[in-house]
Amino acid sequence: MPNSRSHPTAILKPERRLSWAWLVPLLALALAAWLGFKAWGMRGVTITVQLDNGYGLKPGDEVRYRGIGVGKIDAVTILPDLQGILLSARLTSQSESLARVGTRFWVVRPQLHLTRVEGLETLVGPRFLAALPGAPESANTPLRRQRDFVGLSEPPIVESFQPDDLDIILQAPQRGSLHAGAPITYRQTQVGTILSVGLAGDSSAVEARAHIEQPFVQLIRPNTKFWDVGGIQAKLGLTGISIEINSAEALLNGGVALATPPPREAGDEIIRTGHRFTLAEKPDKDWLEWQPMIALGSSLLPPGASPPSPLRASIGWKQGRWIKGQRSHQGWVLQTQQGLLGPADLLKPGEKADKDTVVLEVAGTIVPLGGPPLWERNGLALLKANVSSVQWPADRIRKPTQPEESLAIADSAANPLPLASSRLSAKDGQWVVDPAVSIDSSWHGACVVSRADGRLLGILLVDDDKGARVALLPPDSG
């Protein structure tokens, strides 16, 4: 009898394996998505600018900030009411922060003035849209985005306004040479600008809005006098006609000059924005003789911090046993309450000097060398001498613990030299300045002050062989 039991049978199922061929399209898709996301992030931002006149701008022309292209103009159209044009421009992704509240735009084109020429590069090249950003983001004023702007018909008279700047009103019976953009000068040095000129609300006088820059605000006191310096003043006398011209620039461009009496006469009241002054036709003789000693501030230092006023110094002597040769050093020293502080090689002669030939001159005054300095260390010295009535107080000297953001100040008529903390390295009680920072011997003896609090940290010493270094000061150095 046959066996009825069936034999087991095997069922074969195909094994499923992940094919590497599927990874290729997945990777391609991920790469395409990443490239698309990156392109999306780099597309920039589109803004519109409304202008009264396009002055020949066309699609493809640049948007520039500080002379560098930051975008392109996409389209130029006429407004529906035919009262202006509308530009559509795309800013680069690196320049998106220009699209914020307060940013100003204007067309740069050739403009000829009596004292200057503007937009000269657009005579042979295309015209462009210039940008000037609004106030930067801070803890109190977060960045506010903006996409639609109304452009300026003319370039801004003052490019940037600082929080501590001062705006005042000048009143005059006649307009004279007053006009927007005219300079305001003190001792023929510009300290401000006329922003606008127009009739007073009751038409009884002409009013000019004057802007004083922050470093010179201390010059404006209650008894400060202003007068018109534009044009030519002619006087007829017994010897003929005499002609007075304040300066060639004032003759062409007009302007306003000011004079301030000494502080004891001017008063210490703080002038607020909006204060009104009378503009005189010409100055009194007494005004021109005022010589106030007023410390001026710097926008690079904290509000209220006055920069030091180093004095030019030179020392010379003869040395040699048989044939005497001339030796000399030049630089800067600072008048402190205890004496003259500066490089040791400016406040004492060399060891081989003929003592009878030594001459030390500070700010045009011969300083007698009756003995050695009060102290000398770290390349610095303090000489007991009093040359200037402007003395740096001891409580404004600080010894830092590590390199910090600083300014080197020498000639008051020149810009300070910024010293970044990243360019300074501490070594043996001093800061060695990175050789990549170009500092010549004209800065020898410059005062180094902190940008954080305006206090004196040290003196800049410049050696042609060893380079530049900052010799730090202890608190009792002044």
DSSP-assigned states of every residue in 291-315: ----PPP-TTS-TTPPPP--EEEEE
Query: CB neighbours of 9 closer than 8 A, spacing ≥ 6?
Result: none
Instruction: Evaluate whether residue 172 is within a structural domain.
Output: yes
Per DSSP bridges, beta strands 117-118 and 111-112 are antiparallel
**Mean pLDDT computed over 7-17:** 61
The count of structural domains within the chain is: 4
pLDDT tens, position by position, 173-217: 988 878 888 899 998 889 999 988 999 888 889 999 999 988 888
Spatial contact of 256 and 185, defined as CB atoms under 8 Å apart: yes
* Residues near 388 by beta carbon (within 8 Å), at least 6 away in sequence: 309, 311, 335, 363
Q: Report the distance separating Cα 390 and Cα 195, nearest Å.
A: 34
Residue 296 lies in a domain: no
Residues 263 and 340 in one domain: no
| pLDDT above 80 for 125 | no
The pair of three-digit structure tokens given for residue 232, joined into one six-digit string:
């030519």
Task: Tell me: do 140 and 170 sit in the same domain.
Answer: no
Instruction: Single out the residue in 96, 117, 150 at which a domain terminates.
Output: 150
Say yes or no: 101 and 81 in one domain: yes
Q: Whole-angstrom Cα distance, residue 196 to residue 410?
A: 36
In this structure, is residue 306 part of a structural domain? no
pLDDT band at 373 (very low <50, low <70, confident <90, very high): very high
**DSSP symbols for 307-342:** PP--EEEEEEEEE-SSS-EEEEEEEEEEEBSSSEEE
Range(s) of the domain holding residue 334: 311-383
- Domain endpoint, select from 150, 175, 200: 150
- More confident position, 31 or 84: 84
3-state secondary structure of 244: strand
> Is 41's pLDDT higher than 50?
yes
Residues 275 and 322 in one domain: no
Number of neighbours of residue 134 by Cβ within 10 angstroms: 18
Same domain, 379 and 399: no
Q: Which of 178, 179, 176, 192 is nearest to 224 (CA)?
A: 192
Measured CA distances, 369 to 220, 356, 361, 462, 477 (Å) = 40, 10, 10, 24, 20
Length of the chain: 478
Establish if 20 belongs to a structural domain: no
Last residue of a domain, one of 117, 150, 183: 150
β-pair partners for 417: 408
Are 206 and 122 contained in the same domain?
Answer: no
Looking at the domain assignment, is residue 22 inside a domain?
no
Q: Which residues are registered as beta bridge partners of 228?
A: 256
Closest among 146, 466, 444, 136 to 312, alpha carbons compared: 444
Assess whether 126 and 68 both reside in one domain. Answer: yes
**DSSP secondary structure string for all residues of 114-149:** SS-EE-GGGGTS--EEEEE--PPP-SSS---B--EE
Same structural domain, 174 and 281: yes
Identify the pLDDT of residue 346: 94
Q: Are 470 and 412 in contact (CB under 8 A)?
A: no
Query: What CA–CA distance (Å, rounded) separates 371 from 9?
Result: 120
The verdict on residue 15 lying in a domain is: no
- Residues 316 and 369 placed together within one structural domain of the fold: yes
Q: Same domain for 131 and 68?
A: yes
Please state, in angstroms and rounded to a whole number, the distance separating the CA atoms of residues 104 and 139.
Answer: 23
Residue 97 has a pLDDT of 86
18-32, 59-73, 153-167, 256-270: which has the highest mean pLDDT?
A: 59-73
Q: For residues 66 and 117, state if they share a domain.
A: yes
Do 377 and 398 reside in the same domain of the chain?
no
161 with 198: CB under 8 angstroms?
no
Q: Is residue 254 part of a domain?
A: yes
Count other Cβ atoms within 10 Å, centred on residue 109. 16
Task: Please state which of the ranges 295-304, 318-327, 447-456 shows the lowest mean pLDDT.
Answer: 295-304
CB atoms within 10 A of CB 460: 26
The CATH number of the domain holding residue 430 is 2.40.10
Percent of the chain with pLDDT over 90: 40
pLDDT tens digits, one per residue of 217-249: 888 988 999 999 875 444 444 444 444 445 555
Task: Judge whether 461 and 444 are in contact, CB under 8 Å.
Answer: yes
